Structure 1
Amino acid sequence: MLALEGVSKTYPGGVRALDDVSLRVEAGELAAVVGPSGSGKSTLLHIMGTLERPSSGRVRLDGHDVATLGDRALAALRARRIGFVFQQFFLLDGVTALENVAHGLLYTATPVRQRLAAARIALERVGIGRRAMHLPNQLSGGERQRVAIARALVARPAIVFADEPTGNLDSRSGAAVVELLRTLNDAGTTIVVITHDQQLAHQLPRRMTMHDGRLVGDA
């Protein structure tokens, strides 16, 4: 599903955020990328999710060599084959949960009626279909994160990247989100969780550890 080969990322001023990282994620895996702040996790997420290009090395995602894709083709790949969940929910105020999820298909040229139908199915998948017509400020933190996960899933992506998905939640809501990710993975969704939370990482089948821009462990 995902392969990085000798990937490095250097920013202006000589800051080397990633240093010769190689890894593979197979279809159907549930894996964590763990490490302290400044370890390179966020940069690795951006590279894996095609939000940034590496300075050197090769990235393959869902059969595509990212280096061969222009900006438009890369944006299309991102819209249709990659889902993102962030610590901040990034839901639009003033529109319903259903409409927020449907926005996940905004750049796929899907007609509005089909977007809304797919959004309703995605909300049902994450166990919050009954709250489809509620606004974000009418939802709990755990419910808002479920809406965000539904938005990431609505396009049926090949892989989902979850960046600190429990970071803004209390322990009970966080545990429910982790259980939801497990359930989605059991149904076939490939998921990579980026986190500094060792306790969360140890609940997942695979843990990749970053330190000073290098991959130092893969258990």
Structure 2
Amino acid sequence: MATNVLELERVTKTYGTRPPVHALRGVSFTVRSGELVAIVGPSGSGKSTLLHILGTLDRPSSGTVRIDGQDVAALSDRRLAEIRARSIGFVFQQFFLTERTTVLENVADGLPYGGAAPAERRERAAEALGRVGLRDRAGSRPSELSGGQRQRVAIARALVGRPAIVLADEPTGNLDSGTGASIIELLRELNAGGATILVITHDGDLAARFPRRLHVLDGRIVDDSAARPLEGV
């Protein structure tokens, strides 16, 4: 049975400018293990703030955030860092790969530091590269790869720690349409293999390809496709 890996209850975020900016206004939703979700909305809708809250990079002004069953709102910065390392994988529009190290080393650097032996770290990094179709490029430098391959390395790095959730922020934003489509197809394949993935995007056409869509506008969830009645019911 699928479990809840992410729960938000009446989450708000207000920035203390004058007048105050209400970036999130009572956001509530739940993501279950194995879901593939697009969070879509225009610039200024609150997507970036929501990403920071989901990734424990920022704290809500009010409300409850649970990740993998743990209420994270009142935890110390150190405990939040531990949760990020253990439970959340990040993929960004920029690849953020280290050019002076190999692809394998870049992916291994995504593992939480928990005392794993170097051989185990390399083995898990090779396994993650295999999941994104790049095991044969493990010894390459990022500069030797195409943009699509570099994004696949970034995805492997997010997956290597076997997190409860992968958050992808505009993962196709720096890619041409054909390469971007291949990255979306990869995310769908990884989801079919059990990964829980949330993709933040402003692209409605891209979001339409996902089985669940959360539409954000003016700091609120204005539509959740999971909440719609099934056709014919």
The normalised TM-score by structure 1 is 0.97
SS at match of 1:8: strand
Query: Deviation digits for residues 17-71 of structure 1, max 9, x if unmatched?
Result: 1111111111110000000001000110110111111011000110101024222
Percent identity over the alignment? 63
Q: Which residue of 2 is the match for residue 151 of structure 1?
A: 157
Q: Hey, what does 1:62 align to over in structure 2?
A: 68
Question: Hey, what's the Cα distance between the residues in 2 that align with 1:90 and 1:18?
Answer: 28
Whether the 8 Å CA contact 2:12–2:27 is kept in 1: the answer is: yes
Partner of residue 176, structure 1: 182
Structural mapping, 1:45-194, within 5 Å: 45-194=51-200
Q: For 1:53-96, what per-residue CA distance to the aligned partner results, in whole angstroms no more than 9, with x for missing partners?
A: 10110001101010242222211111011100000000011111
Matched, 1:22 2:28: yes
CA contact (8 A) 2:40 2:47 kept: yes
RMSD: 1.0
Matched, 1:37 2:43: yes
**Residue in structure 1 matched with residue 230 of structure 2 by the alignment:** none
Q: Which moved more, 1:135-144 or 1:65-74?
A: 65-74
Aligned-partner residue type, residue 15 of structure 2: Y
Q: 2: CA distance between counterparts of 1:16 and 1:109?
A: 42
Deviation at 1:106, TM superposition (A): 4.8
Following TM superposition, by how much is the alpha carbon of 1:110 offset from its aligned partner in structure 2, in angstroms? Answer: 2.6
Q: Which residue identity lines up with residue 73 of structure 1 in the other structure?
A: R
- Displacement of 1:113 in angstroms is 2.2
Deviates more, 1:110-119 or 1:51-60: 110-119
Moved more, 27-36 or 10-19: 10-19
Q: CA offsets per residue over residues 153-182 of structure 1, 9 Å max, x none?
A: 000111100100111111111111111101
Gap regions ≥5 residues in structure 1: none
8 Å contact from structure 1 (residues 76, 108) kept in 2: no
1:112 Cα deviation after fit: 2.3
Larger Rg: 2
Q: Distance in 1 between matches of 2:112 and 2:193?
A: 25
Q: Which has the higher helix share?
A: 1
* Residue 12 (str. 1) matches residue 26 (str. 2): no
Corresponding residue to 1:217 among 191, 215, 223: 223
Structure 1 44/114 Cα, relative in aligned 2: closer, same or farther at 3 Å? same
Tell me the matched-pair count: 219
Per-residue CA shift, 1:178-202, capped at 9, x if unaligned? 1110110001100000000111100
For structure 1, which segment, 110-119 or 209-218, has the greater mean C-alpha deviation from structure 2 after superposition?
Answer: 110-119
